Each structure stands twice: as structure tokens, then as C-alpha cells.
Amino acid sequence: MATNGAAAGARPASSKKQGDGQEKLIVKNRRATFDYTIDEVYEAGLSLLGSEVKSLRAGKVDIVDAYASVDAGQMFLKQLNIAPFEMARAFPHDPRRARKLLLHRREIDKIQRALARDGATVIPLRLYFRDGKAKVELGIAFGKKTYDKRHDLAKKTADREAKASMARGRKGDR
């Protein structure tokens, strides 16, 4: 029996996984698509403290009031509420501190130009872990008017009723 120096059943060093891109969703901003029209979407890394990461893994985060802004050429996520981690009582973090976003310079410049337009804001759409790193999906958003929200709600209701009617028709319950 010929061996190539590796144990039986072991993978060669060159075939190790480099990260399969699996995501673990932490929280999704469901109100974002109701209150805003999303124009462009960006993915950014988050600069966090250890206790903040532990709280994120426990799901103790509120994303609804959060927004991003450009300060001195850097992006920051503000008003993101990450609850203090219970076991980190000696050195707790500030729950609503501004957290630095990790983006490329050209992306920051593009977002800054978009923010210069009237009514534009940058909001987080979802928070997740990818390959063990905390990521946030940002959207350049424009606020919807009340009649737009009513129109979207009416369309959603009509779609739901049509789907229910088709399901009843398939069952023969007309």
C-alpha cells in the first residue's frame, strides 16, 4: 500500500475550506422597507468590543432607530442599541455608542455623495455573522410618503387575499 505522507481519510492541506460564506442572521430591520424606499445596498464590517460580540451572539440588539453617517471621512453606525453583556459587569460597553463601519474609501465617497441628495439617509437593513465576523447590510434610503405606505399595504393585502383564494380553489372549497 502506497502512502503519500498523509493519514488515511485526511484532507490534503490545499483543500482546506477558505470560508464557505455561511451567514447567521442576528436581526433584520423589517420596518426599513415599510418606511423607506431602498436605493443601493452595501455590506460593511463592524468594529466591535468583545462584550458587544457576545451580546450580538445572544441576539440582544435593537436595530430600528439606527442610522449611519460620515464623520471626518469615516462611516459610523449610530443609535444601534446592543444590550450590555451580563457577564461583563467589570467593564461594560455603552449600549448606544457610535460604532465604526469598515468600508472601502470609494464606497464611503459614493455614500457621502448620495447623502448630499435631498431626503437620503443610510440605514441598516440587517445584521449578521459571516465566517465569524459581524457584518451589517446598509441601504441608501429615501423616506416614503404616507400615501406610498398605504399603497404598499393595500398591495400586500390584495396579494395575500389572491394567494388565499388560489389555495382555496386548489382544495376545491370555493
pLDDT value, residue 92:
67
Residue 142 pLDDT more than 50? yes
Residue-wise pLDDT tens digits, 21-37 = 788 899 898 888 888 88
Closest CA to 122 of 66, 51, 165: 66
Question: Residue 16 domain-assigned?
Answer: no
- Phi and psi, residue 49, nearest 5°: -85, 165
Residue-wise pLDDT tens digits, 61-103 = 888 889 999 998 899 999 988 888 777 666 667 677 889 999 9
Question: Residue 12 domain-assigned?
Answer: no
Residue 104 pLDDT more than 70? yes
Distance CA 158, CA 152 (A): 10
Distance CA 126, CA 143 (A): 18
**Same-domain status, 96 and 157:** no
Residue 11 pLDDT more than 70? no
**Same-domain status, 62 and 83:** yes
Residue-wise pLDDT tens digits, 112-129 = 998 888 778 899 999 999
pLDDT value, residue 156:
87
Question: Residue 165 domain-assigned?
Answer: yes
pLDDT value, residue 74:
92
Question: Residue 10 domain-assigned?
Answer: no
**Same-domain status, 132 and 153:** no
**Same-domain status, 87 and 172:** no
**Same-domain status, 130 and 170:** no
**Same-domain status, 149 and 139:** no
**Same-domain status, 113 and 151:** no
pLDDT value, residue 8:
44
For the entire predicted model, the pTM comes to: 0.69
Domain that holds residue 168: 145-174
Q: How many domains does the chain have?
A: 2
